[in-house]
Amino acid sequence: MKLFIDTADIAEIRRAKDLGILDGVTTNPTLVRKIGRPYREVLSEVAKEVDGPVSAEVISIDYEGMVREARELAKIRDNINVKIPLIEDGLRAVRTLKSEGISTNVTLCFNSIQALMAAKSGATYISPFIGRIDDIGAEGMEVVEEIAAIYANYGFETEIIVASIRNPLHIKHAALIGADIATIPFDVFQKIIKHPLTDIGLAKFLEDYKKIPK
Ligand code: G3P
């Protein structure tokens, strides 16, 4: 399973990179806004920081605008894939971009039929937003299960990025389902490493070490 970090913050990306487990980065306009600097400047900095794929989102919502923006974003660095919203013009744009060799991450996916459409259009990645589905009282992980089953049934190569992850259980379930990628916010990255029994056990070992005769 590949692990991406869902952030535009270079310090957070470096911390995850230093763990040696970082496979890529996803961003969106909300995450870039938190940095407080120009959009493309931040994306360029992020793309230079990592070797793996980096998702950069278009702002246009019409076909021509999305394709134009995607071509510009893809030029920033060759590890950039373009995040396209799961709307009709978006799927048209995905088809065009695929024919030009530009990778896409179809975003704001909330059910498995939308994901089927994205795969048929030629999306490189599909991003179901699990936390936001849970937020409205539905089961985000059921959507991931369905997408995985549908993609396996028909041999689609579109990779599933489990997104809008809010807690470690989301990651465990994504891994059990066999999702290709989980994109994880920094605070959850920290939570998945930490365990109180590890800290208690470590403190006890250090305490006992001090009592060993020198
Ligand atoms: O990758 C998508 C993610 O950034 C959305 O997360 O927490 O805003 O639903 P959230």
- pLDDT value for 31: 98
Tell the residue nearest (CA) to atom 7 of ligand 1. Answer: 164
pLDDT of residue 25: 98
Nearest CA to ligand 1 atom 3: 164
> How much is the pTM?
0.95
Residue identifier of the C-alpha nearest atom 6 of ligand 1: 164
pLDDT of residue 204: 98
Q: What is the 3-state secondary structure (H, E, C) of 144-162?
A: HHHHHHHHHHHCCCCEEEE
pLDDT at res. 149: 98
What pLDDT is attached to residue 15?
Answer: 95
User: 166 CA distance to ligand 1 centroid (A)?
Assistant: 9
Q: Which of 34, 48, 75, 83 is catalytic?
A: 83
Per DSSP, the residues of 24-91 read EEE--HHHHHTTTS-HHHHHHHHHHH-SS-EEEE----SHHHHHHHHHHHHHH-TTEEEEEESSHHHH
Which pLDDT score is estimated for 128?
A: 98
The CATH architecture annotation of domain 2-210 reads Alpha-Beta Barrel (3.20)
184 CA from centroid of ligand 1 (Å): 9
Structure tokens at 123: 């999306």
Whether 130 and 162 have beta carbons less than 8 Å apart is answered as yes
- Residue 179's nearest CA partner among 123, 130, 107 is 130
Average confidence (pLDDT) per 10 residues, the chain, 214 residues? 98 95 97 97 98 97 98 98 98 98 98 98 98 98 98 98 97 98 95 93 98 96
* pLDDT value for 117: 98
